[in-house]
Structure 1
Amino acid sequence: MISDHILLTLQVLPILPTLAATNLRQRISAFIHERTYQAPPDGHVKNVIVIGGSFGGYQAVKRLTKTLPTGYRVVLVEKNSHLNYVFAFPRFIVVKGHEQNAFIPYSGISKGALEGIFHHIQDTAMEVTERFVELKSGARLEYEYLVIATGSSSKLPSKVSSTESKYAQQELRGMQDKIRQAGRIAIVGGGAVGVQLVSDIKDFYPEKEVTLIHSRAQLLHSFGPRLRDLITETLTGMGVTLRLNARPDLSSETNTLKFWNGDEEMYDLIIPCTGQQPNSNIISTVSPASISKETSHILVKPTLQVMDDRYPYIFAFGDVAATGGPRMGRAAMFQADIVVDNIQQLIAGSRNLCVYKPKFWFEGAIKLTLGKNRVALYIQQENGQEILVDSNLGHEDGDVKSQWAFFGADAEELETRKI
């Protein structure tokens, strides 16, 4: 039987030439761009506004700084002072000493950007009109093209409420203290966040009584049986109590969970890990028909333009949009490339736009931490075959250093934060 390591290699190798060719094309384009772009004079610039600077938004802005022609600039509107590396949040609300590194400066975008092509505004976009973005500060930005990458909203351990790194770190530390002080803990929600959080708590605090509650019969129900079985075996082996097919009432502010079957359980700490709401309300005034009544996602065409034909210059992608692809950071970054290429085509006057075709096996691959050092990499191929690589090569800090490098942030600042 072929090992999963070999299957993974055989699966990835065929796409490497395509990825390399795309990267080379983008580098050549950026090289030419650096020698042809001229900073526009004040008052004579057309804005391409990107709302949202998480993984997909970051990629879109970074690419736009390397591709927009003279006369255009990209404006990033992002409420947070730093890019929130949310994948590390489950680990950093359990383990002290690394939480400051989950907030990555946006300096990587401006690094190397040509004069006049990039403008960063820390503010909250409140509303979109046909040609303007209204900000919470009262400012009004005119745009030629608009990219909505606002993602979704939720609470810790998935997201923080603070927009400044200093206070966001305090939120993580506050949860660390609650977990440390609690003896009996319930995690509600058996998705990726819930699974990682419960395994970290139990591994770092083996003496605690930890329960994972999930409304379905299977944890990580949207993935294949091999990953689900590994998760179940790992958690039960650690001593985590699993309560499946259970849906407690989370509306109470007490430490008692009431279940549909009438059961009641009291815990020292209850942490919900359920549900995320798309941040789609921003276009509810200009194009209410572009918001799904069922899911609240922004409806988009395969070109990632909003479904409303009146606004071919408005794009949406990532978790906020019904793209048809996986709701993963990797997928959002691929979608960002489609959006950027299509904006280039529209500026050039072409109607030959690119279409987003999800590569589910690649964009939907998942890497899960299962305690201090254990890491599981899972891919489900299009024919249904599963690849699962399980190792003990994880690090306490979640390999955050590599993410700072990926987002072009200053490694020296990363080291300074540890002092």
Structure 2
Amino acid sequence: MALETLRLILKYSPQILSFALQLITQRIRAIIHNKTYISTENPKHVLIIGGSFAGIQLAKRLAETLPTGYKVILIEKNSHFNYTFNFPRYSVVRGRQERAFIPYDGLGRGNPVGVFEQIRGTVVKIREDEVVLEDRRIIGYEFLAVATGVTQAPPAKLLACEKTGACGELKALQDRIFESNTIAIVGAGAVGVQLACDIKTFYPDKVVTLIHSRKKLLTSFGRKLHDYVFGKLGELGIEVLLGERPSLTANGDWKAEDLTFQNGSKRLFDLIIPCTGQSPNSSLLASFSPSSISFENGQILVKPTLQIITDSKLDSESCLTNIFALGDVADTGGAKMARAGMMQAQVVCSNIIASISGGKMKAYNPSPLEGSLKLSLGKDNGVGYLQDSDGTEILVPLKGGKVDFEVGNAWWHLGAKYDEKNF
């Protein structure tokens, strides 16, 4: 393990150092920008649709970079930023769910007056130079970035847009887990694995079964991670059923249910939690530019510059020059993880500035570092994992951290004050 860690450091330290220097440079430029940006009466709008990880990173970067005469507007339907990393943990541990919902009102703190605005709302239509909100408001744009992410079933993502309702969803699942003796989790991606481990380590007497349709856990990652996690699940006493795809009733109310397996047998579980699948939120382009949506995966087709392609040929030069897509909704070739979306935000920001100033556009080049994983395996253990571009897998066992992980850092990143006394 020590050799793998050393190899990781040696190979990727130049990239890490380059990124650190980039952050320092950005900070210096932000200070200068704060003193030179002048608020104007009718600035041109750079709109961002979606305020999750990719969207807020782009908003932050643009707010400290856009020249006088431009402003960034972030449009987001949720009342609070959803820190989805902690949703599995807060589905199990009671009384801590409010920490996962971070107010947006600190996001523009420290930026020049007039450069940033956040609008609560849902965009229902994109037009050539404007968007239409559900409440019929119309907002024009000079540049547009689509960072609408994906839809997943609770608890990976929640249905409510208000903090109170979202907390209620997590509390309802906490209660059902507490009441149930036999629990099935269907889907062994990162959310399913973490949820199974959390239930078993916080409630050791419960019978937990993890069911997966494939023959390998954590399908998007390599065999070494599967082997390690499979062993840890066994140590915890979690039953793992691979190659099973039981049909689920979409009742959404966490009721007891029978599951039917391939051999025809049935088992009744007190609680079944689906952790399967995700759908890109790309439907906004369905009427505006339907050929920009991939037939294969439903994601938005983009050039390496992350400008949206206007037909189904991936090598097409035809694109919407002032409209970008980033994060999980975009077909970038990069990892579908928050880190990748935040790196894509850097590229989109740079290319918007280049478009304004007549500079050279940058291409997004995915790095294996963006797909690195830090996975909790219950309250006492975890694992760090990276799959190199040559297929080599680097795996580092970790000790369990705080119950709330590093949620305080997320609050700081959004300019919000995190104080345990407030919860």
TM-score band w.r.t. shorter chain:
over 0.9
Letter of the aligned partner of 2:410 in structure 1? Q
Q: TM-score, normalised by structure 2?
A: 0.94
SS of equivalent to 1:219: coil
Q: 1:200 to 1:393 in 2, by over 3 A?
A: closer
Match of 1:416 in 2: 421
Letter of the aligned partner of 1:358 in structure 2? P
| Whole-Å separation in 1 of the counterparts to 2:355 and 2:22 | 20
| Whole-Å separation in 2 of the counterparts to 1:194 and 1:138 | 39
Given candidates 341, 360, 366, the residue that maps to 1:332 is 341
Does 2:356 correspond to 1:354? Answer: no
Letter of the aligned partner of 1:342 in structure 2? N
Does 2:413 correspond to 1:406? Answer: yes
| Whole-Å separation in 2 of the counterparts to 1:416 and 1:140 | 41
Given candidates 392, 396, 399, the residue that maps to 2:399 is 392
Q: How far off its partner does 1:9 sit?
A: 2.9
| Whole-Å separation in 2 of the counterparts to 1:316 and 1:347 | 18
SS of equivalent to 1:156: coil
| Whole-Å separation in 1 of the counterparts to 2:27 and 2:409 | 21
Counterparts in 2 of 1:287-302, with a 5 A limit? 287-302=289-304
Contact 2:49 2:74 in 1 (8 A): yes
SS of equivalent to 2:111: coil
Contact 2:308 2:319 in 1 (8 A): no
| Whole-Å separation in 2 of the counterparts to 1:23 and 1:400 | 21
Alpha-carbon displacement from aligned partner over 1:1-43 (angstroms, at most 9, x marks no partner): 85333334324422232112211321232222222211011xx
Match of 1:284 in 2: 286
Match of 1:85 in 2: 83
Match of 1:14 in 2: 14
| Whole-Å separation in 1 of the counterparts to 2:141 and 2:346 | 20
Match of 1:38 in 2: 38
Contact 1:129 1:285 in 2 (8 A): no
Match of 2:26 in 1: 26
Match of 1:317 in 2: 326
Q: How far off its partner does 1:358 sit?
A: 0.3
Q: 1:338 to 1:390 in 2, by over 3 A?
A: same
SS of equivalent to 2:193: helix
Contact 1:54 1:83 in 2 (8 A): yes
Aligned length: 412
| Whole-Å separation in 1 of the counterparts to 2:250 and 2:111 | 50
| Whole-Å separation in 2 of the counterparts to 1:395 and 1:4 | 25
Q: How far off its partner does 1:281 sit?
A: 0.3
SS of equivalent to 2:385: strand
| Whole-Å separation in 2 of the counterparts to 1:406 and 1:7 | 30
Match of 1:363 in 2: 370
Match of 1:341 in 2: 350
Letter of the aligned partner of 2:322 in structure 1? Y
Q: How far off its partner does 1:98 sit?
A: 1.5
Contact 2:91 2:173 in 1 (8 A): yes
Alpha-carbon displacement from aligned partner over 1:351-402 (angstroms, at most 9, x marks no partner): x210000002x00000100011212111122222222111224121122122
Letter of the aligned partner of 2:387 in structure 1? Q
| Whole-Å separation in 2 of the counterparts to 1:366 and 1:334 | 15
Q: TM-score, normalised by structure 1?
A: 0.95
| Whole-Å separation in 2 of the counterparts to 1:293 and 1:162 | 29
SS of equivalent to 2:25: helix
| Whole-Å separation in 2 of the counterparts to 1:14 and 1:382 | 16
Contact 1:300 1:316 in 2 (8 A): yes
Alpha-carbon displacement from aligned partner over 1:45-69 (angstroms, at most 9, x marks no partner): 2110000011110000000101111
| Whole-Å separation in 2 of the counterparts to 1:405 and 1:8 | 28
| Whole-Å separation in 2 of the counterparts to 1:416 and 1:111 | 22
Counterparts in 2 of 1:40-189, with a 5 A limit? 40-41=40-41, 44-189=42-187
Contact 2:307 2:319 in 1 (8 A): no
Identity across the alignment (%): 46
Counterparts in 2 of 1:242-281, with a 5 A limit? 242-251=240-249, 253=251, 255-281=257-283
| Whole-Å separation in 2 of the counterparts to 1:302 and 1:15 | 19
Match of 1:3 in 2: 3
Letter of the aligned partner of 2:339 in structure 1? R
| Whole-Å separation in 2 of the counterparts to 1:34 and 1:200 | 44
| Whole-Å separation in 1 of the counterparts to 2:54 and 2:250 | 35
SS of equivalent to 1:284: helix
| Whole-Å separation in 2 of the counterparts to 1:104 and 1:323 | 28
Q: How far off its partner does 1:137 sit?
A: 1.3
Match of 2:313 in 1: none
| Whole-Å separation in 1 of the counterparts to 2:27 and 2:74 | 22
| Whole-Å separation in 2 of the counterparts to 1:105 and 1:332 | 20
| Whole-Å separation in 2 of the counterparts to 1:301 and 1:185 | 44
Letter of the aligned partner of 1:417 in structure 2? N
| Whole-Å separation in 2 of the counterparts to 1:297 and 1:12 | 29
Letter of the aligned partner of 1:205 in structure 2? Y
Contact 1:373 1:396 in 2 (8 A): no
Contact 2:210 2:240 in 1 (8 A): yes
Alpha-carbon displacement from aligned partner over 1:150-196 (angstroms, at most 9, x marks no partner): 00011211001111112211111110001000111100001110000
Q: How far off its partner does 1:310 sit?
A: 5.4
